[in-house]
């Protein structure tokens, strides 16, 4: 995936979060602060809902990245995060996975295969063109 494609997917995630009332202070794109490392992995987008006092994480995945063990570990780790304070204390932080249209079915299958569906906080999202 070229960096331009990557940027298109990240912009799609940012736009979707903002459209749903989520503030986006961190995104791996120009005009935003760089997301911070969370344990061993860095999300592409970090959002915040001040009403729910809830963080939102976003990552983008290309068709090639879907095949990698690294992507599976990244999904596992980021989807395992829970709120440590505020009114959403103890709730799992939602993880949005931005994928090109041709990958949406495959990312859902990967999540199911890894047994992470039970967490209930992983949301594949078609973004980009």
Q: How far apart are CA 79 and CA 74, in angstroms?
A: 8
CATH of the domain at 29: 3.40.1350
Pairing relationship of beta strands 54-60 and 95-99 according to DSSP bridges: parallel
Total structural domains within the chain: 1
Rounded average pLDDT over 66-82:
90
Of residues 10 and 113, the one with the higher pLDDT is: 10
Cβ–Cβ under 8 Å, residues 89 and 83: yes
pLDDT at 129: 61
Neighbours of 79 (CB within 10 A): 22
**pLDDT tens, residue by residue, 18-71:** 999 999 999 999 999 999 999 889 999 999 999 999 999 999 998 888 888 898
From residue 7, give the alpha-carbon distance in Å to each of 55, 90, 92, 103: 21, 32, 26, 17
Domain that holds residue 12: 3-126
């Amino acid at each position: 995936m070229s960096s331009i494609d990557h940027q298109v997917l990240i912009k799609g995630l940012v736009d979707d979060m903002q459209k749903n009332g989520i503030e986006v202070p961190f995104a791996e794109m120009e005009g935003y602060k760089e997301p911070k490392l969370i344990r061993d992995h860095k999300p592409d987008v970090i959002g915040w809902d001040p009403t729910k006092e809830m963080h939102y994480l976003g990552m983008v995945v290309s068709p090639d990245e879907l095949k990698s063990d690294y992507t599976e570990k990244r999904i596992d780790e980021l989807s395992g995060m829970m709120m440590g304070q505020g009114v959403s204390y103890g709730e799992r932080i939602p993880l949005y996975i931005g994928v090109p249209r041709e990958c949406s079915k495959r990312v859902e299958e990967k999540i199911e295969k890894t047994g992470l569906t039970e967490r209930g906080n992983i949301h594949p999202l078609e973004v980009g063109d």
